[in-house]
């Protein structure tokens, strides 16, 4: 595909492109090096949109907004669609890419907090998508042999190739094309490798994309962007103001060390995206998906929630009680025992799961320990024993599942024995780090390695069941519809394609 000629009256912002793009789609995380730096590897690509008004040409100056500190560069390979693509396979997807060039996916981390991953304010500002300066004919290069490099003030800070992608370029195009039509001129920003960091006023960023092994080693040339200080402050009456914390600083700079922050142990808890999925799915749906994968003994039986309307999602921390014996209680029941250690150690997003052997003849916790868990950021408590001070524990507000209330103290039936080991709670094995999910139906235990797969499958099944419920409400019989026969399945698949 030949390089398009620019028209004399063309907007100079789009001089590095064949035309003003109808849409700009960016990949959140796509390089192995970047994923390793962030400490997570997504199973599938995910995306966000940028406005075409954010495009800038090589040589442009870009503002770091007044009152912000964390403007970061991201050198990327930009794909420019040459011919429309809709529902194309990965084997044909590359033929719809007309050109390749360099891009800089700039973003202000100070503005991320309120946009929850959409990046509208942090990455959608005027000039925050510099592109160009030259277009490479996509048909002349191997998409698996492209290179991207970034320099800041002349120092090379990023270098990687498409061999290091988690998801190939053709896969990204095909995946997007099954959801929406990619039109001529649309731009896909394919993610940045490790090395992205913070820049400030006076810095000059250069990005180049090339194909070193292709004939003539075609190159985009160096895309040059100059950073200047913005002067117009944000209006507090209109929306959220910039805000930063050490987590944002560490991510913007690339590491806590680069940001000048002390090393920090990994915060316990689930990946936020996985947590959000699990909060949407009912326990019944998760249980069904686990059973289909051969795990049928994963429900903690005999426990009921104090707050049936509250969802419980977190990672297990375990506590084990053994049957009461006077000499053992004398040696293990007093002082800073296992029960107290467990409640003191629980962290953000964790669930204390207690083995009490289904014995309900005494309490396994009371209001003081519930307050301690709540203050420590715990996601909840699950015990197959009793709860003392039931009403006071309920007032604390933390999700608690138990076998019932009992006024007696711990030592009547139990000895607090040990923590953070495999236990049995409600007839189910629970290990530290297992994913615990509870709702009004009960509590399910999910092996952490299966949690993402199970959550995705349960969400898909929930959508299918909702569609079936609508058909039943319309008056259709359940025979052949629930479960769906081939005819109903075809109708459902057609509906999904149109949705």
Using DSSP's 3-state secondary structure scheme, residue 326 falls into helix
Residues 6+ apart with CB under 8 A from 18: 4, 80, 98, 99, 135, 184, 185
Using DSSP's 3-state secondary structure scheme, residue 284 falls into helix
Query: Does 275 carry a binding-site annotation?
Result: no
- Do the beta carbons of residue 24 and residue 129 sit within 8 Å? yes
Neighbours of 183 (CB within 10 A): 14
> What is the DSSP code (8-state) at residue 490?
H
- Do the beta carbons of residue 356 and residue 414 sit within 8 Å? yes
d(CA 465, CA 186): 36
Query: Does 105 carry a binding-site annotation?
Result: no
Q: What is the number of residues in the chain?
A: 499
Query: Does 366 carry a binding-site annotation?
Result: yes
Cis amide leading into 133 (omega within 30): yes
d(CA 267, CA 270): 9
- Do the beta carbons of residue 58 and residue 127 sit within 8 Å? no
d(CA 175, CA 45): 9
Using DSSP's 3-state secondary structure scheme, residue 15 falls into coil
CB burial readout 374-403, b (16+ within 10 A) else e:
bebbbbbbbbbbbbbbbeebbebebbbbbb
Backbone torsion region of residue 225, taken as left when φ is above 0, otherwise alpha when ψ lies between -120 and 50, otherwise beta: beta
d(CA 398, CA 85): 50
Query: Does 127 carry a binding-site annotation?
Result: no
> What is the DSSP code (8-state) at residue 296?
-
> What is the DSSP code (8-state) at residue 239?
S
- Do the beta carbons of residue 378 and residue 352 sit within 8 Å? yes
d(CA 73, CA 244): 17
Residues 6+ apart with CB under 8 A from 336: none
Query: Does 9 carry a binding-site annotation?
Result: no
Query: Does 41 carry a binding-site annotation?
Result: no
d(CA 424, CA 445): 11
Residues 6+ apart with CB under 8 A from 300: 353, 382, 384, 401, 425, 426, 427, 428, 430, 442, 443, 444, 445
d(CA 272, CA 276): 6
Binding-site residues for substrate sit at: 366-369, 388
Binding-site residues sit at: 366-369, 388-389
Binding-site residues for Mg(2+) sit at: 389
């Amino acid at each position: 595909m030949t390089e398009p000629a620019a028209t004399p009256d063309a907007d100079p912002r789009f001089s590095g492109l064949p035309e003003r793009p109808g849409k700009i789609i960016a990949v959140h995380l796509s390089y192995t090096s970047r994923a390793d730096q962030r400490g997570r590897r997504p199973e599938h690509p995910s995306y966000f949109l940028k406005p075409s008004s954010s495009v800038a040409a090589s040589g442009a100056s870009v503002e770091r907004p007044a009152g912000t500190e964390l403007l970061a560069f991201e050198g990327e390979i930009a794909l420019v669609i040459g011919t429309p693509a809709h529902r194309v396979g990965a084997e044909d997807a590359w033929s719809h890419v007309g050109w390749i060039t360099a891009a800089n996916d700039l973003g202000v981390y100070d503005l991320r907090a309120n946009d929850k991953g959409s990046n509208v304010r942090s990455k959608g500002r005027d000039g925050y998508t510099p592109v160009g300066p030259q277009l490479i004919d996509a048909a002349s290069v191997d998409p698996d042999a492209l290179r991207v490099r970034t320099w800041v003030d002349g120092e090379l800070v990023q270098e990687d190739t498409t061999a290091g992608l988690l998801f190939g370029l053709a896969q990204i195009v095909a995946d997007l094309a099954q959801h929406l039509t990619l039109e001529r001129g649309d731009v896909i920003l394919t993610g940045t490798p490790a090395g992205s960091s913070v820049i400030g006023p006076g810095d000059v960023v250069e990005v180049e994309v090339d194909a070193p092994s292709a004939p003539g080693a075609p190159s985009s040339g160096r895309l040059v962007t100059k950073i200047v200080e913005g002067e117009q402050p944000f209006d507090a009456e209109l929306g959220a103001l910039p805000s930063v914390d050490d987590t944002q600083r560490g991510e913007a700079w690339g590491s806590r060390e680069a940001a000048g922050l002390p090393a920090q142990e990994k915060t316990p808890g689930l990946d936020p995206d996985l947590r959000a999925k699990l909060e949407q799915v009912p326990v019944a749906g998760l249980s069904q998906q686990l059973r289909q994968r051969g795990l049928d003994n994963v429900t903690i039986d005999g426990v009921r929630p104090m707050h049936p309307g509250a969802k419980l999602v977190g990672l297990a921390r375990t506590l084990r009680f053994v049957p009461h014996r006077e000499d053992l209680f004398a040696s293990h029941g007093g002082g800073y025992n296992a029960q107290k250690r467990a409640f003191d150690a629980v962290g953000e997003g964790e669930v204390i799961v207690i083995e009490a052997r289904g014995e309900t003849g005494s309490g396994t916790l009371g209001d003081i320990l519930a307050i301690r868990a709540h203050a420590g950021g715990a996601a909840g408590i699950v015990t197959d024993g009793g709860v003392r001070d039931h009403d006071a524990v309920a007032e604390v507000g933390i999700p608690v599942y138990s076998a019932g209330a009992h006024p007696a103290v711990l030592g009547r039936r139990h000895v607090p024995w040990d923590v953070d080991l495999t236990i049995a709670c409600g007839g189910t094995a629970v290990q530290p780090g297992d994913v615990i999910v509870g709702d009004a139906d009960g509590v399910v235990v999910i092996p952490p390695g299966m949690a993402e797969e199970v959550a995705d499958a349960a969400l898909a099944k929930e959508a299918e069941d909702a569609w079936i419920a609508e058909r039943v409400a319309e008056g259709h019989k359940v025979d052949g519809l629930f479960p769906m026969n081939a005819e109903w399945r075809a109708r459902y698949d057609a509906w999904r394609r149109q949705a």
